[in-house]
Amino acid sequence: MSKLDEITIGKYIAKGMMGTIFSATDKEGNKYAYKIGKILPREVKKSLKSEYWRENDFAKNLGNKYPDQFMYLYDSKIENNCKHTQNFSGFDFTMNDLPKAQQTYYKKLAKKSVL
C-alpha cells in the first residue's frame, strides 16, 4: 500500500501546465501538498527522458538532501483509473508563447493522459 492511499485530499491550491495541487492530510493530521499530474502512455515506463520521472528523481535526490530549498517527495504512483481532468484555462500566457515542440507536447498531454 502506498502512503498516497492513506491521504485525504482537501481544497484546491493551484494549477500549472503539469498538474493540479491540492491540500492533503494523513491519518495523523500531518498536512501536505498533493499534486495530481498527467503523463502520456509512453511515459509510464520509468525513464529520465520523461519529465514526470525527471521531476520525481530530482525531488528524491535534492529535495530529500536539501529540504529547505527544494520540495520533498514522500511518495508517487501512477493511477490508471484516475478521473481528474487538468484545466488549462486561466493561464497568463497562451500556447503560442511556447516553442512549437512544447505546444505539440502539451496538446498531446491534455488529450491522451494516463494519470
* pTM exceeding 0.85: no
Let me know: does 8 contact 24? Beta carbons within 8 Å. yes
For the chain, the domain total comes to 1
Let me know: does 12 contact 86? Beta carbons within 8 Å. no
The range of the structural domain enclosing residue 84 comes to: 3-111
d(CA 18, CA 26): 24
CATH of the domain at 69: 3.30.200
pLDDT, tens digit, for every residue of 12-70?
998 876 778 899 999 999 898 888 877 777 778 887 777 778 888 888 888 778 878 87
Q: How confident is the model at residue 115 (pLDDT cuts 50, 70, 90)?
A: very low
pLDDT over 70 (residue 2): no
